[in-house]
Structure formats: C-alpha cells, structure tokens
Amino acid sequence: MQKLLIAIPCFNEEENIESIYQRIISDINFKELGLEHEILFIDDGSKDHTVDVFKKLSDAHDDVSYISLSRNYGKETAMVVAFDYFHHDALIIMDADLQHPPVLVNDMVKLWRLGYDDVYAKRNKREGEGWFKIKTSQWFYKLLGKISKTPVTPDAGDFRLLDKKVVVALRSLRESQRYTKGLYNVVGFKKVAIEFDAAPRLHGKSKWSFRSLVNLALEGITSYTTAPLRISTFLGFIVSAFAFIYMIYVFIKTLITGPTQSGFPTIVILVLFLGGCILISNGILGEYLARVFMESKNRPLYFIEEKHTHDQKKDN
C-alpha cells in the first residue's frame, strides 16, 4: 500500500494540535484512497506545551510521530526536517492552525494518482488577513515574477502534496538561507493547482510579524535571483551615461559662452545622487556577500532535541 506522510511544522501551537489531528483523521478518507499514513509533528522550538501535546497524542495513536528541534529555526527549516525524515511515497505539508483544510488532501491525492508530482493548493481569498498583508504580498509576487527566471506562483503556499521524486530533489538543496516557495519551482516536476478558501487561524496569532515578512521577502529575492545585482549595474550605466552627456553639454556651453562660476548646486546634486547610487549598490552587493558567507559555513540546518516515531526502521 502507498504511504503518505503528513508533516506539520508547529511553533507554539499547543491549542491547535489536537484539533488538527482530529480533523485529519475525520476529513481524509485514507481507507477509500487506499493509503497508509503517518502524521509527523515538528516542534520548531516552541516555548509552550506543544511537545507535551505531541507526547500525549503519540502515546495514544500509532500514526503520530514527532520530532522536536533544539530551538526555533523558522518554518522554512522545519520543513527540511520533514524532507529528511521522509521515506514514504508522498508528502503533505500543512500548517497547524487549520488554515489549510485537511479535506482538500482527498482531491490532492487523486491528482497525484493522475500523474502530477506537485499538487499545490492555491488560496482563493484570505479570510482573517488584513488588507495591508494581502496587498503587500501581491506586490511582492509581482516584483519577484518580473525579476526572476523561474517565477513563484502567487497565492500558492506550502500546503502541497509532493511526490517522492520532488521530496528527494528538495532534500538535496541544502542552502541555509531558504525560500522554499521558490525552491518548488527550482526543482521543477509536473505541477497542478487546486483552489481552496483559506480559513482564519483557529487559535493564537500568526507567527509572522511585519519585520519577519520583510525579511522573508528579502530572502526570497536575494536567495532566488541575482537580478538586483544587474539592476545596480544598469543603474551605474545610466548614471554614467547622464554624467557623460552632461559633461559634453558643459564643455560645449563653455566654448560658446565662456567659463562661468555657477554650478555649485549641480555639483552638490550630482555628488549626493552618485553617493546614493554607490551606497545602494554596495548594500546589494553586501546582501549577496553575506549569503555567500553564511552558506560557506556549511553548518547542519538544524539539530534535533527529541525524536519519537512508531516506525522502527527510522528510529535512531
């Protein structure tokens, strides 16, 4: 029988875990689909009783495993834990807050059986999310789509079914500055979208602050494309071209009307403008260099504090 792994990254989700487990069991027709399943909860360094709830669930049910990380690494890294643990036929990743309806998995599995390797859920509307968050994320995807060769699909999150092939491919990408939404497109494979209405979070608050979203956006751009480097080169060319034309203009003007003393404002403007361009280019270079530095350390992506599975094969 084919085996499905459902992986759920959790960061301070003690109130949601029982509900998501119940919903998975009640909403997904494992029997009808002819699927064995394992549910892997990944604790991303929670400060609350998340791990205790894992323990309770896993003691009571044979299909629940958990891995607890040594600290909070962020969802992007928590997902790598799922890729590494994976030894099944397909992987589903979903959020713990029930924003991703488990019932959709039934249709995802059907599409997978039709031969698709990456069935991704696409949000129709976002309930419980502010206008600002929706707009900024739209702008971000537009920008990213314009500047990168393998565009990121807007409104498609990490709620997906991935075939073994895709997971093995993703597992081989060990970069520490991760932007997984981009990586799905980097590895390729046959993709298909399935639409759903995202529900509001069940309990608790979103773990993403505005700052962490800005960071993720920067991560998205700098780890996914080198377009900004080119933009700064273009900017340099354009500014130099203007400076050159201006130089010729001043030269000819001086020939015709003779030397003049004026022009201080022009100099100040030019110096400030060029200074700004140089600083921006330096900053962009620095962003990339910092990433080279981080990757060159080649550290393991995460450390496991505790692991409990019912799968003897993988217990170690």
* Interface residue list for Mg ion (CB under 5 A): 95, 97, 99, 201
Residues 154/143, Cβ–Cβ less than 8 Å: no
Binding of residue 9 to ligand UDP (CB under 6 A): yes
Binding of residue 13 to ligand UDP (CB under 6 A): yes
Helix axes 75-85, 164-171, angle to 10 degrees: 120
Binding of residue 206 to ligand UDP (CB under 6 A): yes
CB of 190 to ligand UDP, least distance (A): 26
93-132 binders of ligand UDP (CB under 6 A): 95-97, 99
The count of residues interacting with ligand UDP (CB under 6 A) is: 17
Of 10-18, 53-61, 103-111, 238-246, the window that binds ligand UDP (rule: CB under 6 A) is 10-18
Question: What's the longest Cα–Cα distance across the chain?
Answer: 93
CB of 44 to Mg ion, least distance (A): 13
User: Which of 122, 120, 121, 118 minimizes the C-alpha distance to 164?
Assistant: 118
Binding of residue 219 to ligand UDP (CB under 6 A): no
Binding of residue 44 to ligand UDP (CB under 6 A): yes
Report the Cα 123 to chain-centroid distance in Å: 15
159 Cβ contact list (under 8 Å, min separation 6): 92, 93, 94, 95, 100, 104, 120, 121, 196
Using CA atoms, how far apart are residues 49 and 41, in angstroms rounded to an integer? 13
CA distances from residue 169 to 67, 150, 236 in whole angstroms, order as listed? 22, 16, 38
50 binds, among ligand UDP, Mg ion, none (CB under 5 to 8 A by kind): none
Contact residues: ligand UDP, CB under 6 A:
9-11, 13, 44, 72, 74-75, 78, 95-97, 99, 201, 206-208
